[in-house]
């Protein structure tokens, strides 16, 4: 099957490479010429484990091509996926659909053969109707249908998630679109991935409801972690005890500095706006958004308190904090809405100097954190620091030699916002050790 993907970012590029790997003939389109030039030269525009190899293999097999020319890219396609960004609209938090609408219009103007237009971008309920209207308004005489196929991959594990998804959700009321989508995902039936066909509106809402639920789970355990600190319990034991219950499940019960990234913050906000517009306020999600937002700066204050208490309540201004990890989670270079941004700002606002190291995120983080000194290694960031903060749980930080860390810092304060170290070991090495929800 011939497939076009419009938007070659985290979702578009991974989807395109995986579809090609299934044996489809795929063209990935992006309006950013620098991105397409890099892809054509075999250079990945993002960090995602395994992606360079997958893209390389499928380009060599002539199943995967790249272009900035949408008309050329879609001309033979039977399925055209829209995978452009839907960031929060400045000012009101609604999903900004201008990129999706622009693609719909361009597709309509350039459609040469019957095709199913599939929104893979995360879009609010009713966007499929709008995409259909925009394409009709271009006056195209070519037969088309619009389907919704939200994407659930996780950055850092994107290829595995795409190839072995828990489920594939397809929203369409059109029998022909259903057949095309069955054909697109047929290779996955061999992996026994369930495909859920539903209405377009239900598919659109499934994505937001799923993300809001996961964000709620994270926020729930974060509040329980705060309670653990105050009552002398251990949140990791509490989470394990909860997660062993199959009705609850162990995933997304890791206490930390609050959720961030390219999806949860904007998608929870967009759901609130949709719910408001349709007169069904989602009060639980509203609380989740507010609790999570305040948590990020609270984590900065937690570092300041730890430092101050290690200095017997003394002033912290002018002291130096080393932040290990900047991306919102490990195995990605994505800095969108990363908690590190608020944490660093809180530390800078308190007059602290901040050094940082991240294995993959520093190129994107540098311009976002101009007052933070970026270092070439974790040990360089740590040297002479008055406090070390684990912000992102990269494997390389789990394996840090804590003895060496203790010998390099000026004051042995270790704030472990991801609970990766053994408190007893850290304390035995003389650290003033502070975790999340473990007393």
- Would you name the residues annotated as active-site residues? 263
Tell how strand 195-198 and strand 413-416 pair up. unpaired
Binding test (CB under 6 A) with ligand NAD, winner from 65, 236, 262, 340: 262
Paired tokens of 59:
């380009």
Minimal CA–CA distance to 377: which of 359, 364, 400? 359
Binding test (CB under 6 A) with ligand NAD, winner from 122, 216, 292, 355: 122
Site string for ligand NAD, 83-112 (x = CB under 6 A): xxxx------------x--xx---------
Query: Residue 388: which H helix or E strand, with range?
Result: strand 387-390
Binding test (CB under 6 A) with ligand NAD, winner from 21, 48, 155, 360: 155
Residue 270 near residue 95 (C-beta atoms within 8 A): yes
**Please, what is the minimum distance in Å from the beta carbon of residue 137 to ligand NAD?**
17
Binding test (CB under 6 A) with ligand NAD, winner from 3, 4, 10, 397: 10
Task: Please provide residue 147's backbone torsions phi and psi, each rounded to the nearest 5 degrees.
Answer: -125, 160
Q: What ranges make up the beta strands (E) of 31-167?
A: 64-67, 79-82, 115-119, 144-148
259 binds ligand NAD (CB under 6 A): no
DSSP labels, 313-363: T---TT-EEEEE--SSSTT----TT-HHHHHHHHHHHTT-EEEEE-TTTHH
Site for ligand NAD in 339-398 (CB under 6 A): none
Q: Residue 124 in 3-state DSSP?
A: coil
11 binds ligand NAD (CB under 6 A): yes
Paired tokens of 248:
């609850």
CA distance 408 to 380: 9
**Please, what is the minimum distance in Å from the beta carbon of residue 241 to ligand NAD?**
30
Specify the residue, 10 or 431, whose C-beta has the smaller distance to ligand NAD. 10
Binding test (CB under 6 A) with ligand NAD, winner from 5, 6, 107, 374: 6
Q: Which stretch binds ligand NAD (CB under 6 A): 110-118, 127-135, 151-159, 285-293?
A: 151-159
Q: Which stretch binds ligand NAD (CB under 6 A): 5-13, 168-176, 316-324, 370-378?
A: 5-13
Q: How many residues bind ligand NAD (CB under 6 A)?
A: 26
Which residues are at the interface with ligand NAD (CB under 6 A)? 6-12, 29-32, 35, 83-86, 99, 102-103, 121-122, 151, 153, 155, 262-263
């Amino acid at each position: 099957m011939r497939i076009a993907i419009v938007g070659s970012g985290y979702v578009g590029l991974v989807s395109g490479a995986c579809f090609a790997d299934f044996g489809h003939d795929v063209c990935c389109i992006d309006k950013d010429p620098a991105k397409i030039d890099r892809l054509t030269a075999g250079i990945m525009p993002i960090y995602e484990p395994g992606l360079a190899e997958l893209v390389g293999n499928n380009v060599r097999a002539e199943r995967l091509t790249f272009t900035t020319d949408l008309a050329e890219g879609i001309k033979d396609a039977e399925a055209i996926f829209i995978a452009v960004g839907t960031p929060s609209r400045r000012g009101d938090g609604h999903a900004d659909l201008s990129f999706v609408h622009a693609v719909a219009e361009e597709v309509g103007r350039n459609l040469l053969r019957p095709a199913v237009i599939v929104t893979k971008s995360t879009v609010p309920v009713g966007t499929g109707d709008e995409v259909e209207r925009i394409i009709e308004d271009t006056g195209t005489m070519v037969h088309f249908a619009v389907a919704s196929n939200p994407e659930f991959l996780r950055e850092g594990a994107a290829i595995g998630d795409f190839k072995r998804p828990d489920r594939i959700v397809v929203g369409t009321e059109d029998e022909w679109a259903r057949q095309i989508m069955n054909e697109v995902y047929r290779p996955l039936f061999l992996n026994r991935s369930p495909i859920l066909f539903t209405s377009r509106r239900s598919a659109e809402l499934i994505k937001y409801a799923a993300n809001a639920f996961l964000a709620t789970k994270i926020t729930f355990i974060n509040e329980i972690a705060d309670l653990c600190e105050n009552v002398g319990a251990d949140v990791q034991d509490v989470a394990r005890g909860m997660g062993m219950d199959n009705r609850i499940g162990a995933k997304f019960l890791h206490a930390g500095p609050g959720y961030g990234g390219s999806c949860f913050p904007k998608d929870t906000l967009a759901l609130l706006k949709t719910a408001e517009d349709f007169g069904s306020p989602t009060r639980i999600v509203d609380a989740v958004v507010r609790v999570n937002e305040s948590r990020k700066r609270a984590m900065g204050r937690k570092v300041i308190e730890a430092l101050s208490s290690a200095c017997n309540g003394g002033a912290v201004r002018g002291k130096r904090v080393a932040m290990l990890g900047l991306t919102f989670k490990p195995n990605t270079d994505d800095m969108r809405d990363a908690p590190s941004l608020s944490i660093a700002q809180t530390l800078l606002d308190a007059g602290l100097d901040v050094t940082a190291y991240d294995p993959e995120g520093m190129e994107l983080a540098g311009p976002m954190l101009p007052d933070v000194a970026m270092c070439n290694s974790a040990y360089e960031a740590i040297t002479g620091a008055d406090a070390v903060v684990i912000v992102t749980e990269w494997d390389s930080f789990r394996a840090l030699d804590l003895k060496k860390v203790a010998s390099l810092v000026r004051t042995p304060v270790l704030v472990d916002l991801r609970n990766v170290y053994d408190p007893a070991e850290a304390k035995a090495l003389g650290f003033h050790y502070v975790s999340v929800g473990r007393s």
